[in-house]
Chains A and B, each alone.
Chain A
Amino acid sequence: MDRSQELQAAAARGVEVSLRRFDLADVDAMMVWASDPQVAAVCRWEPYESTEPLVAFIREVVLPHPWFRAICVVGGEEERPVGAVSVTPTADACRAELGYVLARAHWGKGVATAAVKRVVATVFAELEGLERVEALVDVRNAASQRVLEKAGFRREAVLRKYCVLKGQVKDMVMYSFISTDPLVE
């Protein structure tokens, strides 16, 4: 196949992503989504205004984290991350919390869904004792709920007034994917 046929075949399969570990050199790519107020609005943090605190975040949080990966789109600028996905252990060894963020230019194309599918296909083998990956989504964030549903997560409950985020009390939907759940192709 030539290059254009390859891209057409890839488009027919849906977007493909690869996940890899972050490097300090990724700070500029990360700044694209970390500085975006529209992205930050649905996240727990405020937009970054300079790269120094972002470098500190990579060094102090991302690099030592048990499972924090860069989302790269296969067929795009392959080594340049367009988002991040993490699985963070909790007080119970059997469960960890999924989080993900994507640059706005890549919203609505199935990138987050593809990344989450790759996570649940690999993370259970990589984190000792893990049986449950859970995700908490604002009840009003329908797009993020669809990502999880398409990746095979089960909606379990609405946790009322679960947290206060940026001054607002939020109801959150709890989703989970357990190690025996079927992977969605």
Chain B
Amino acid sequence: MEAEGYVSLREFTEADAEALLEWASDPRVVRFQRRDAYTHVDEARRYIIDHVLPFCRTRGTAPSAASLGYLVARAHWGRGVATRAVSAAAEAVFAEWPWLVRLEAIADVENPASQRVLEKAGFTREGVLRRYVVLKGRPSRDVVMFSFVRGDGEVKPAEVATHS
């Protein structure tokens, strides 16, 4: 039986399209995402096949910096799921990519909940970057830049397991 708050990370498969659609179609979840909300499971399936699966298999380059992003279905907000997932992901990538030195993440200036996720996961707030991203073709947004660099100390422990 899983403990309260248990979070595990695994790779996506095509079978996850329906689950992905559940949050990718929710305007509250995708509010600060560049892409428009999905409306049909085929869009979710295409996204997994065309973008997610090839992405996971790209091991050719060894960049010193990488960008972290996350989405959580609305029903699971407010319970620390994102914080645990971010902690787990940061720990995993620094272990799997010895060349990685910097993990960064941005949060909209009007998204304090997401900023708190990153702070609780041990990221450092670096500053506000003005007019940094364009959201869904609307006027550009100011964002807060956060980073976690190798040597920042232990990532906050989480009840977590990662497996591919």
Contact = CB atoms under 8 A, between A and B. Distances in A.
A132 B102 contact: no
Contacts of B130: 132, 154, 156, 176, 178
B140 A131 contact: yes
Interface in A142-180: 154, 156-164, 169, 174, 176, 178-179
A93 to B, nearest CB: 6
A95 B132 contact: yes
B128 A157 contact: yes
B128 to A, nearest CB: 6
A55 B82 CA distance: 51
A94 interface: yes
Contacts of A159: 102, 104, 126, 145, 147
B120 interface: no
A157 B147 CA distance: 11
B93 to A, nearest CB: 14
B150 A92 contact: no
Interface residues of A, number: 23
Given A161-B150, A164-B64, A164-B101, A156 B134 contact: no
Query: Residue among B34, B128, B132 with the most chain A CB within 10 A?
Result: B132
Interface string A50-87: 00000000000000000000000000000000000000
B152 to A, nearest CB: 9
B149 A160 contact: yes
A46 B73 CA distance: 48
Contacts of B124: 160
Interface residues of B, number: 21
A158 B102 CA distance: 13
A161 B132 contact: no
B131 A157 contact: no
Taking chain A's interface residues, is the majority helix, strand, or loop, or is none over half, making it mixed? Answer: strand
Interface in B91-136: 101-102, 104, 124, 126-134
Contacts of A92: 34, 132-134, 140
Contacts of A174: 127, 129, 145
Contacts of A156: 127-130
B65 interface: yes
A161 B134 CA distance: 26
A174 to B, nearest CB: 6
Q: Which 8 A-B pairs have the closest CB atoms?
A: A157-B127, A94-B140, A157-B126, A132-B131, A131-B131, A161-B149, A164-B64, A161-B102
Interface of A: 92-95, 129, 131-132, 134, 154, 156-164, 169, 174, 176, 178-179
29 contacts: A92-B132, A92-B134, A93-B134, A94-B131, A94-B132, A94-B133, A129-B134, A132-B130, A134-B129, A156-B127, A156-B128, A156-B129, A156-B130, A157-B126, A157-B127, A157-B129, A157-B145, A159-B145, A160-B102, A160-B124, A160-B147, A161-B102, A161-B150, A163-B65, A174-B127, A174-B129, A174-B145, A176-B130, A176-B131
